[in-house]
């Protein structure tokens, strides 16, 4: 079976999952982190090489302070207990997104995890936090402007390849497959540049119900897709 090298996941539907059970939204996030752990593990088992997960968007600040605080506290606690497993699996952790607005205790934990997993090569795990695809592109443009001003690059050398080097996922092959759970059929400002040629897979299953078997279904569907990249059929 043709397995994607890199999958991107919009882990959506935690709130609806909780609501349907009469639980507070936060319980959906808690259950969602368990699935995240399982899906990373299963991705490794399937021979997938990289996974990029959307955990908090630049737009998610619009939620209640109670929910946002819960998410950050839960993530910081999660990182601490998850570290050992990630290292044992030979995974390298990368945090993509703005680092200037998140609470320091969380950024500190994430940066420690990045440093401790830095040499690992078997698998790359990117987590997008306070991330927006538009922000990513604007940041790249700003960095290019600085390098241009400092004579590090010439205008004629700015092309798609060089531009992508300035993005958060530089050096990583772009996602082959995007999975979005919970029925919404939109990108919600995730990896705008990198998803240019990804295959999209949407499922009505809420993220806390997205178990191993659901990942298998997504990969199976991907394996049947005919990726043409503009060629004739």
Cα–Cα distance, 218 to 211 (Å, whole number): 11
Q: Would residue 60 show up in a list of annotated catalytic residues for this protein?
A: yes
Contact residues for ligand IPE, defined by CB under 6 A: 10-16, 54-57, 60, 71, 182, 184, 186, 188
The residue nearest ligand IPE at its CB is 15
Contacts with Mg ion in 3-22 (CB under 5 A)?
12
Active-site choice (12, 130, 176, 194) = 12
Shortest Cβ 189–ligand IPE spacing (Å): 8
Q: What share of the chain is helix, strand, coil (3-state, %, to 5)?
A: 50, 15, 35
CA pair distance 192, 89, nearest whole angstrom: 29
Backbone angles phi, psi at 126, to 5 degrees: -105, 130
CA 50 – CA 35 distance, rounded (Å): 17
Cα–Cα distances in angstroms (integers) from residue 223 to residues 32, 35, 40, 80, 205, in the given order: 26, 23, 19, 35, 20
Query: With respect to ligand IPE, which residue has the nearer C-beta, 8 or 71?
Result: 71
Q: Which does 188 bind (CB under 5 to 8 A by kind): Mg ion, ligand IPE, none?
A: ligand IPE
Give the nearer residue to ligand IPE in terms of CB position, either 186 or 227: 186
The yes-or-no answer on residue 150 being catalytic is no
Catalytic machinery residues: 12, 60
Q: For binding to Mg ion (CB under 5 A), which residues are involved?
A: 12
């Amino acid at each position: 079976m043709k397995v994607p090298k890199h999958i991107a996941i919009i882990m959506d539907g935690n709130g609806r999952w909780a609501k349907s059970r009469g639980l507070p939204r936060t319980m959906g996030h808690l259950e969602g982190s368990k699935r995240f752990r399982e899906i990373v593990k299963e991705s490794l088992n399937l021979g997938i090489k990289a996974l990029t997960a959307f955990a908090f968007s630049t737009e998610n600040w619009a939620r209640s302070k109670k929910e946002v605080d819960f998410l950050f506290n839960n993530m910081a606690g999660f990182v601490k207990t998850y570290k050992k497993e990630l290292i044992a699996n030979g995974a390298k952790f990368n945090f993509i997104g703005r680092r200037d607005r998140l609470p320091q205790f969380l950024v500190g934990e994430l940066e420690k995890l990045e440093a401790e997993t830095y040499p690992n090569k078997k698998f790359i795990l990117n987590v997008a936090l306070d991330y927006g695809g538009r922000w990513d592109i604007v940041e790249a443009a700003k960095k290019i402007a600085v390098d241009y001003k400092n004579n590090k690059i010439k205008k004629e050398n700015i092309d798609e390849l060089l531009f992508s080097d300035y993005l958060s996922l530089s050096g990583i092959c772009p996602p082959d497959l995007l999975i979005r759970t919970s029925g919404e059929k939109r990108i919600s400002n995730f990896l705008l540049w990198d998803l240019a040629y990804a295959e999209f897979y949407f499922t009505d299953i809420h993220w806390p119900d997205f178990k191993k078997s659901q990942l298998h279904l997504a990969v199976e569907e991907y394996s049947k897709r005919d990726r043409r990249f503009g060629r004739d059929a």
